[in-house]
Structure 1
Amino acid sequence: MLNEFSRTQLLYGKDAMTKLAQSRIAVFGIGGVGGYVVEALARSGVGALDLVDDDRVCLTNINRQILATRKTVGKYKVDVAEERIKTISPSCEVTTYKTFYLPETQDQFDFRRYDYVVDAIDTVTGKLTIIENAGKLNVPVISSMGAGNKVNPSLFEVADIYETSICPLAKVMRRECRKRGIKSLKVVYSKEKPVRPLDDMSISCRQHCICPPGAARKCTERRDIPGSTAFVPSVAGLIIAGEIINDLTRDFSGEYHS
């Protein structure tokens, strides 16, 4: 029967689409990268998505985040994502968590429920906690490295964390993964040397922070405000989604994974 995923089924087959419909994927971080991951997973027929992010849409997100528009500024990202997913795939089960993932909040999540986990958050401590919790249960996880201060989307690669280079975040993650005995981690990273953002205080969040009162992590408290584009985080997110879909359906459509 013709449906919204018929064109995808032409490539992957009916059994693969059934597998996707029965899969639950957790996406930690629904920002520039994570938002596009969610978009592509929903459009690929994934049956259940757990969305984790305590942030609200900010005016400065509009340049790169698919969920950010003038109409969604001020709304929780996970709420905006849930509403959008339902307009794409009404049958998709969406569970939202207005939570900033850290060791202190990890007990809210049962990783045994997940068929795949996406780490698209910025904090090293949170990333490592996600990776360790997934690893203990042998749940596949893919982690996004730095997408800020980059302008060339063609330089993204999929690799094991220990095969990465140049990316400053990947360097830190390599060191910390080694300390914790993490033997392998699939990541998406860029070999592009980060661009140094202009020091223009007239448009800096440090001087003109518009985070709502009571925000847990205001821009004025951040060590650095990265520059960003519309096309770099989106590419990273779509690569991640593609890796997940291909991994989950590998047993059903091997000819498409050569």
Structure 2
Amino acid sequence: MNPGTTNYPSLKGRSVFVTGGGSGIGAAIVSSFAAQGARVAFIDIAEEPSRRLAQDIAEAGHSAPWWRVCDVRDVAALQTAVTDAAAALGDFAVLVNNVASDDRHTLESVTPAYYEERMAINERPAFFAIQAAVPGMKRLGFGSIVNLGSTGWQGKGSGYPCYSVAKSSVNGLTRGLAKSLGQDRIRINTVSPGWVMTERQIALWLDAEGEKELARNQCLPDKLKPQDIANMVLFLAADDGAMCTAHEFTVDAGWV
């Protein structure tokens, strides 16, 4: 684990909930909050990576996270997880809507059932996780919600039109809730990653042509890592980002 280099005292002891936290960007986010001394809960559909992550965090000397295997397509299970985790850790001051799946598909291959399934993973969970977490934030008198977007649709990426539809809606969710939530000092922002070199991305998509695409499009020569995204999420979650709301923060090495 590489939890980043900045210390945010305001995060110590705060309860944080992360969707899709078992691997990739989500795991970096979970690990980073744990290293800040936060009380972290996460859900993920993959049991073994989640178990290893929790063990790694505990072995690093941090409080072991609360976690549960959860399929976010099941809204009742998602909201129950938020409620149960809050009962164990306290009302959540931070919610990170990270869960996503960028499976490739073509326009011609999409059926109504497949479209609904893509939205059930990539769009719907953020709304209903917010719905479940906001009452606790209102009790606290403050909160920070971070929705993970994407630069893929902004750069006119191809091969995942349903994913593009879902991820383009994240900014609408963020901006559409910012005013009403802000009255209770609940901030909501979007963090949009570029092409992050998770294990999955490297295994499935990074080939010689992909390397050329990175060199051609990024302003910076270094590859994005999950920790780069986690660092922005931490800032927005902490009191340091106290007057940031309703905005998109892009971490893409200058691609878009």
The verdict on how the C-alpha distance between 1:36 and 1:129 changes in structure 2, with shifts beyond 3 A counting, is same
Paired residue for 2:224? 231
Q: For the Cα contact (< 8 Å) 1:145–1:170, is it kept in 2?
A: yes
Q: For the Cα contact (< 8 Å) 2:236–2:242, is it kept in 1?
A: no
Equivalent position amino acid for 1:88 in 2: A
Q: Secondary structure at the match of 1:172?
A: helix
CA distance in 2, matches of 1:187, 1:236: 11
Unmatched segments (≥5 aa) in structure 1: 57-75, 152-166, 195-202, 205-228, 251-258
Paired residue for 2:235? 242
Once the 2 structures are TM-superposed, how far is the Cα of residue 22 of structure 1 from its aligned partner?
Answer: 2.1
The verdict on how the C-alpha distance between 1:173 and 1:245 changes in structure 2, with shifts beyond 3 A counting, is closer
CA distance in 2, matches of 1:141, 1:245: 11
Q: For the Cα contact (< 8 Å) 1:26–1:51, is it kept in 2?
A: yes
Q: For the Cα contact (< 8 Å) 2:45–2:70, is it kept in 1?
A: yes
Paired residue for 1:115? 93
Paired residue for 2:42? 51
Higher helix share: 2
Once the 2 structures are TM-superposed, how far is the Cα of residue 247 of structure 1 from its aligned partner?
Answer: 4.7
Once the 2 structures are TM-superposed, how far is the Cα of residue 238 of structure 1 from its aligned partner?
Answer: 2.2
1:41 aligned to 2:40? Answer: no
The verdict on how the C-alpha distance between 1:109 and 1:55 changes in structure 2, with shifts beyond 3 A counting, is same
Q: Secondary structure at the match of 1:85?
A: helix
Paired residue for 1:145? 149
Aligned to 2:168, which of 163, 171, 175? 171
Once the 2 structures are TM-superposed, how far is the Cα of residue 32 of structure 1 from its aligned partner?
Answer: 2.1
Q: Please identify the structure whose Cα radius of gyration is greater.
A: 1
How many residues align? The count is 168
1:99-125 CA-partner distances (Å, limit 9, x unpaired): 123413122322562221111112211
Q: Secondary structure at the match of 1:118?
A: strand
1:97 aligned to 2:68? Answer: yes
Paired residue for 2:132? 133
Once the 2 structures are TM-superposed, how far is the Cα of residue 36 of structure 1 from its aligned partner?
Answer: 1.1
Please report the RMSD computed on the Cα atoms of aligned residues, expressed in angstroms. 3.9
Paired residue for 1:124? 123
Q: Secondary structure at the match of 2:55?
A: helix
More deviation, 103-112/29-38: 103-112
1:153-187 CA-partner distances (Å, limit 9, x unpaired): xxxxxxxxxxxxxx754422345667889856311
Q: Secondary structure at the match of 1:83?
A: helix
Q: Percent identity?
A: 12
Q: For the Cα contact (< 8 Å) 1:20–1:248, is it kept in 2?
A: no
The verdict on how the C-alpha distance between 1:168 and 1:121 changes in structure 2, with shifts beyond 3 A counting, is same
Once the 2 structures are TM-superposed, how far is the Cα of residue 55 of structure 1 from its aligned partner?
Answer: 1.5
CA distance in 1, matches of 2:11, 2:238: 8
Relative to the length of structure 1, the TM-score reads 0.52
Once the 2 structures are TM-superposed, how far is the Cα of residue 20 of structure 1 from its aligned partner?
Answer: 3.7
Relative to the length of structure 2, the TM-score reads 0.52
The verdict on how the C-alpha distance between 1:147 and 1:85 changes in structure 2, with shifts beyond 3 A counting, is farther
Paired residue for 1:218? none
Q: Secondary structure at the match of 2:51?
A: helix
Equivalent position amino acid for 2:31 in 1: E
CA distance in 2, matches of 1:82, 1:245: 22
Q: Secondary structure at the match of 1:140?
A: strand
Paired residue for 1:256? none
Q: For the Cα contact (< 8 Å) 1:36–1:238, is it kept in 2?
A: no
Equivalent position amino acid for 1:41 in 2: F
Unmatched segments (≥5 aa) in structure 2: 101-121, 138-142, 156-163, 182-187, 196-203, 206-221, 244-256
CA distance in 2, matches of 1:230, 1:41: 23
Aligned to 1:27, which of 5, 18, 21? 18
